[in-house]
């Protein structure tokens, strides 16, 4: 039981890899913003291309 408690304590206080996790969270946040922006622009961009396509016919 002491081994488990020691392992849990060391695991909770271990900070190695924290920077990599922080960078991964930042990258995922940026990705979410990019996807949201592209999704918002996508509809109006499609409308413009459809209008241009109609003019070219």
The number of distinct structural domains making up the chain is 1
Per-residue burial over 9-42, b = 16 or more CB atoms within 10 Å of its CB, e = otherwise = eeeeeeeeeeeeeeeeeeeeeeeeeeeeeeeeee
Let me know if residue 50 belongs to a domain. Answer: yes
Let me know if residue 7 belongs to a domain. Answer: no
- Structural domain harbouring 39: 28-56
Let me know if residue 40 belongs to a domain. Answer: yes
pLDDT tens digits, one per residue of 1-57: 889 888 888 888 877 778 888 999 999 999 999 999 888 887 788 888 899 999 997
Let me know if residue 48 belongs to a domain. Answer: yes
Let me know if residue 51 belongs to a domain. Answer: yes
Let me know if residue 37 belongs to a domain. Answer: yes
pLDDT of residue 25: 95
Let me know if residue 22 belongs to a domain. Answer: no
């Amino acid at each position: 039981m002491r081994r488990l408690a020691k392992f849990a304590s060391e695991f909770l206080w271990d900070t190695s890899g924290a920077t990599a996790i922080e960078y991964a969270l930042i990258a995922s946040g940026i990705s979410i913003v990019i996807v949201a922006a592209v999704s918002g622009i996508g509809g109006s961009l499609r409308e413009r291309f459809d209008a241009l396509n109609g003019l070219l016919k």
